[in-house]
Structure 1
Amino acid sequence: MQPTIANPVARSLYNALMGEIEPDLRLDATGATAAKLAAMSPEERRIQVARYEEAYATFHQRWPKFVEESKERVKLIMKMFRSFKEHEDDRATDILEQSLNSFPSAS
């Protein structure tokens, strides 16, 4: 069974950060991760699970800062959209593209 996070924004943020830390623990990878663990010897599985526990600890440590940085990126993007709407110049378009590209990939 794949774990779910109902809020699509929270799901995307979780996957983006966890993808940086341990891609096996992304929400869309749980089936493959379970199969990978099932195919391991008990000793290999113990080592892998310990690695996953470290990944979750790192995730929980980094989560608050990651969320705050994401909020700041959203504020910047909103500001750029307003600037684009007001000025509709090439410079605003370039800045907007840079802001959008600053988000980590959630795929």
Structure 2
Amino acid sequence: MPHQRSTSTTAKLLYRPVGLASGILSGAIAGLLFKQLWKLATPSHTKDTPKALESEFPLREILLAAALQGAIYAMVKALVDRGGARAFEKTFGEWPGD
């Protein structure tokens, strides 16, 4: 059973800028990671990732790219958010969520 962490309103307010910055950081990291993985997965294509309004890509490739991008973003965001919350707890002694 996980241990309970207490959260005060002050901790939540103090964490907001950290959460905002980590969201921006995780989006940038996820975007870079996705582009590199897409290049490895499709070496014969152009270096651009397929977008929904680009007619030269088949729908299945667009959907695959979107699913992969979403999964990478969710994973990176969870890792960055969790790391930021743990660092906040170590610094201020309170868990910023819940």
TM class by smaller structure:
0.3 to 0.5
**Normalised TM-score (structure 2):** 0.36
More helix by share: 1
TM-score w.r.t. length of structure 1: 0.34
Which structure's relative contact order is higher, taking Cα pairs within 8 Å and 6+ residues apart?
A: 2
